[in-house]
A and B are shown apart, each in its own frame.
Chain A
Amino acid sequence: EAGVAQSPRYKIIEKRQSVAFWCNPISGHATLYWYQQILGQGPKLLIQFQNNGVVDDSQLPKDRFSAERLKGVDSTLKIQPAKLEDSAVYLCASSPHPETQYFGPGTRLLVL
């Protein structure tokens, strides 16, 4: 079974630029999550989708972050404009039900 795929794996941008991350969950998994993991901290949930609907986006900084999962499969997370404090690993996870989560390799973002 293929795992959760994410791209790009690494991204370096300057502050105020825009960036987008892509996630392809495990086939058949209805629930998809985006997490932000700052170095030395645990993952922080940004947004949770159930199929193509948003379940929880209470910790998503909506003034600069957006996410979509239009067809209930792939998802994109966008930051516009980026700030220095957005430097982190962005993890996508999927699950067949809202419990066990399977994480992708993450996208490491560095904002200069």
Chain B
Amino acid sequence: GQQVMQIPQYQHVQEGEDFTTYCNSSTTLSNIQWYKQRPGGHPVFLIQLVKSGEVKKQKRLTFQFGEAKKNSSLHITATQTTDVGTYFCAGRDYKLSFGAGTTVTVRA
């Protein structure tokens, strides 16, 4: 069955620095979604990518879908304390499967 892997599991970032989290699927995806879950909260939809090689930006967040539609990345520039939380990717082949997430902490 489909497996969605995310790396790294944890990301400790100095405030102001950039970082990237990666998502890899064992199968080709029709689309991929990204969610953010704050500590103690619930997942909140961030974005959906559909096209091969697609790149979308939301302020300091840049999302990319791989050419083969089997991987994706989320890059955050100039990290702020508000970026704290767990970022999940969810890939859809015949069903939507969530990765285990990258938990981000920020050093002020």
> A residues touching B (Cβ–Cβ < 8 Å)?
40-45, 56, 58, 91, 93, 99-106
Chain B interface mostly: strand
* A-B contact number at CB 8 A: 40
- Cβ contact of B43, chosen from A41, A43, A56, cutoff 8 A: A43
A42 touching B100 by the CB < 8 A rule? yes
Cβ contacts under 8 Å, B33 to chain A: 99-101
Interface size on B, residues (CB 8 A): 18
A91 touching B45 by the CB < 8 A rule? no
Cβ contacts under 8 Å, A99 to chain B: 31, 33, 48
Cβ contacts under 8 Å, B43 to chain A: 43, 91, 93, 101, 103
- Cβ contact of A45, chosen from B45, B88, B95, cutoff 8 A: B95
